[in-house]
């Protein structure tokens, strides 16, 4: 996750958040945010079973034991075949993540439910979904965000869970254009 907080740069610099759950939460309380982009994320996972299974797998075999399965959901097969270096680097990143930290994140995501708070997001919001995202499919995840956040707009890019990497140019254009919008 990367967080560029307004205090790190000029007061009029855009605040960029990566990690959708954190981004949507901060947007509810952070007065310095002037726009928000949520990428391939959700305010809630109705089915907790995949998270329980992932937690059990990490407890049994560590993050290295789930790294391939996790990263296989991040990219379409076609994109992954053309970019094996990116897939390998991210797979290694997951495998090297400390088990305790990864388990804590899984438990937090499984418990996460901010659907009732979406209406409190008071800045222009762009929701980006991946057309082939098996982790947070546009329907219901991105649609829940767009329906719950006043004035939010949806853009769907070709790609899986990391559609912003698979369709990097289009994502960059959408995000930079949206970051220039302010709520004032």
Token pair in block for residue 56: 């059990």
| Model confidence at 80: pLDDT above 70 | yes
Residues 170 and 85 in one domain: no
Residues 85 and 122 in one domain: no
The DSSP 8-state label assigned to residue 48 in this structure reads -
Better pLDDT: 144 or 36: 144
Is 20 domain-assigned? yes
Q: b vs e for 21-50, b when ≥16 Cβ sit within 10 Å of the residue's Cβ?
A: bebbbbbbebeebbbbbbbbbbbbbeeeee
Residues 100 and 144 in one domain: no
Is 184 domain-assigned? no
For the chain, the average pLDDT equals 85
Count: domains in the chain: 2
Query: Residue 100's Cα: distance from chain center in Å?
Result: 21
pTM given for the model = 0.83
Is 140 domain-assigned? yes
Residues 118 and 38 in one domain: yes
Sequence-distant (≥ 6) Cβ neighbours of residue 22 within 8 angstroms: 1, 3
Count of helix runs (H) and strand runs (E) in the chain: 9, 5
pLDDT the model gives residue 8: 41
Residues 118 and 100 in one domain: no
Domain span holding position 76: 49-109
Residues 54 and 92 in one domain: yes
pLDDT the model gives residue 146: 96
Is 33 domain-assigned? yes
Is 15 domain-assigned? yes
Is 173 domain-assigned? yes
pLDDT the model gives residue 179: 86
If residue 100 lies in a helix (H) or strand (E), which one and from where to where? Answer: helix 99-111
Q: Tell me the C-alpha distance between 127 and 164, whole Å.
A: 12
Q: What is the mean pLDDT of residues 150-176?
A: 95
Token pair in block for residue 154: 């949806």
Q: Which of 93, 109, 125 is the last residue of a domain?
A: 109
């Amino acid at each position: 996750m990367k967080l560029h907080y307004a205090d790190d740069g000029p007061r009029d610099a855009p605040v960029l958040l990566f990690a959708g759950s954190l981004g949507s939460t901060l947007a509810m309380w952070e007065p310095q945010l002037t726009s928000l982009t949520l990428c391939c994320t959700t305010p809630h996972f109705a089915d907790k079973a995949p998270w329980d299974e992932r937690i059990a797998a990490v407890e049994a075999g560590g993050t290295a034991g789930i790294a391939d399965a996790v990263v296989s959901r991040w990219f379409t097969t076609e994109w992954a075949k053309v970019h094996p270096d990116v897939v390998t680097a991210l797979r290694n990143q997951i495998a090297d993540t400390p088990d305790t930290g990864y388990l804590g994140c899984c438990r937090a995501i499984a418990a996460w439910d901010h659907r009732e708070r979406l209406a409190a997001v008071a800045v222009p919001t762009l929701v980006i979904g991946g057309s082939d995202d098996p982790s947070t499919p546009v329907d219901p995840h991105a649609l829940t965000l767009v329906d719950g956040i006043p004035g939010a707009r949806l853009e769907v890019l070709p790609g899986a869970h990391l559609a912003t990497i698979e369709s990097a140019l289009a994502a960059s254009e959408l995000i930079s254009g949206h970051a220039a919008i302010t709520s004032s």
